[in-house]
Amino acid sequence: MNKCKSFKPSINTNSEVLILGSMPGVKSLEEQQYYAHPQNRFWKVMGAICSSTDLHKMNYKEKLAVLLENHIALWDTIKACERNGSLDTDIMNEIPNDIGSLLKKFPNIKCICLNGNKSYLAFKKYFPELLEKYKCYKMPSTSPANAKYSLENLIDKWKAFSC
């Protein structure tokens, strides 16, 4: 079983939307970058939502900068866990991030988008009071494992949230 640890949040005082994944996959952990797997559609979806630019082809710092310019912060619901591979269904012994403290430190956050089922379930388990306090959206996962959604469907679903 591999020990996995999430990254620091990408956030600033202008952030209004917090997108929470569950735990970075193997490729993301290797690269130390959110959504680094080339088949993950997160950056394509965000590019369509934020700026109609191809974020997928930008370098990592540029991608994060575009999100922050669009008032979007990134983090994970889970701080640490054990898992072999990248599947959320294999996550064991999870420890949540301190999302409550982050939200106190960054009071401009108006809504929270939970990228995928595991992120939503962990958030609901550890932070039920935040589900009541914030507009929270359970979004379809951008993971390549979520073959149920085409890229166009994902973009439509993600565009539907409003804060």
The distance in angstroms from the start CA to the end CA of the chain is: 38
Q: Whats the size of the chain, residue-wise?
A: 163
Phi, psi of 35 (to 5 degrees): 55, 50
Q: Which of 77, 76, 80, 50 is nearest to 63 (CA)?
A: 50
Active site residue 14: no
Contact 111, 18 (CB under 8 A): yes
Cα–Cα dist 45/50, whole Å: 9
Task: Exactly one of 40, 84, 93, 115 is catalytic; name it.
Answer: 40
Active site residues: 40
